[in-house]
Amino acid sequence: MKEVGKIWMNGKLVPFKDAKVHVLTHALHYSTSIFEGIRCYNTRDGPAIFRLPEHIDRFFRSAQLYSMKMRFSKKAITEAIIKTVKTGGFKESYIRPLAYYGYGTMGLTPSPNKVDVAIACWKWKMGESKAGKFSGAKCKISSWIKIDSRSQPTHAKAASNYANAVLARMEAVENGYDEAIMLNSYGKVVEGSAENIFIVKDGVIQTPPLSAGGLGGITRDSVIQIVEENGEFVMECDLERDDLYLADEIFMTGTAAEIKSITQVDKVKIGTGKMGRTTKALQKSFTDVVMARDERFLPWLTFI
Ligand SMILES: Cc1ncc(COP(=O)(O)O)c(C=O)c1O
């Protein structure tokens, strides 16, 4: 990672290298942090942050699920994000807001500690280096079961949820795959390690409902709205492992991944084994939207 620009910490912009926390920070020991992942695109009308209010809302919902007392309003965090991006001078970037129980007392109960907030931003070019994004990724059904809301709030984008995701990703990569697909304790398909999942079967686009345990992805929501705006629909329904093997196309969605084609699950080739027509068309539509080339979705962009 290039240490460029500044990181916003509790209201102050500090040099990238100096954005440090104490080793006894509560979140380091007990995973008590929540975060966001946001993209800023270099559109023809200048840099624009994609669906910023929706990311801010999810950030605050995640904080609420961990009873975090935020010292900053939604408006203040929004302004801080814009300031951090502008200070870095990036045209295309990834933005990482983070809220965490900080340093103070050590013990399981986090509430005596203040909730610290940081916003980092780094350069991220569109379509860069995501395994298989265009060529088609190979996925492994994880042997790790997706955590569910009986254990932890799955609607929170919380660090603690990612221990499960990291194990799944490591298992997939160590076995020669690009990405993991997670099933829940009922054997239903949930999502990738950091992406939502869709299949296309006989021309119908399908995705698991959020009740399966996946994160309410903003890219997932964007894809559903784009498809609907184009006069079609996405069916939300439980999917089994078999549905993956029998799908004509599979793709994943996420802020980092955008729309990523999946062409193999375990040892099974999906469809033709190449990126499918629907996935390709959606990749194009999505790129048009984030690059401000689709008038209908301009309200999703915050120009900075
Ligand atoms: C577990 C998980 N599911 C889904 C997503 C996709 O969410 P979004 O489209 O908001 O980036 C992410 C990425 O944030 C994720 O980490």
Class of domain 137-290: alpha beta
Q: Whose CA is nearest to atom 5 of ligand 1?
A: 195
DSSP state of 270: P
Can you list the alpha helix ranges (DSSP code H) found in the chain? 26-30, 52-65, 74-88, 161-174, 218-229, 241-246, 277-290
Q: Is the CB–ligand 1 distance for residue 254 below 6 Å?
A: yes
Helix (H, G, I), strand (E, B) or coil at 180: strand
Question: Which CATH fold topology does 6-123 show?
Answer: D-amino Acid Aminotransferase; Chain A, domain 1 (3.30.470)
**What positions carry a catalytic annotation?**
157
pLDDT number for residue 281? 97
> What is the CA(107)–ligand 1 centre distance, in A?
30
Residue extents of the structural domains in the chain:
6-123, 137-290
Handedness of CA 59, 62, 221, 38 (dihedral sign): positive
Enumerate the β-bridge partners of residue 268: 265
Q: What is the mean pLDDT of each run of 10 residues along the chain (304 residues)?
A: 92 96 97 98 96 98 98 98 96 97 94 96 76 84 96 96 98 97 98 98 98 98 98 98 98 96 98 96 97 98 96
> What is the CA(124)–ligand 1 centre distance, in A?
17
pLDDT number for residue 1? 82
- Quick check: do 6-123 and 137-290 share a fold? no
Report the greatest alpha carbon distance in the chain. 57
pLDDT number for residue 179? 96
Token couple for 98: 């983070």
pLDDT number for residue 191? 98
Name which of 193, 183, 188 is nearest 162 in CA terms: 193
Token couple for 239: 């999917």
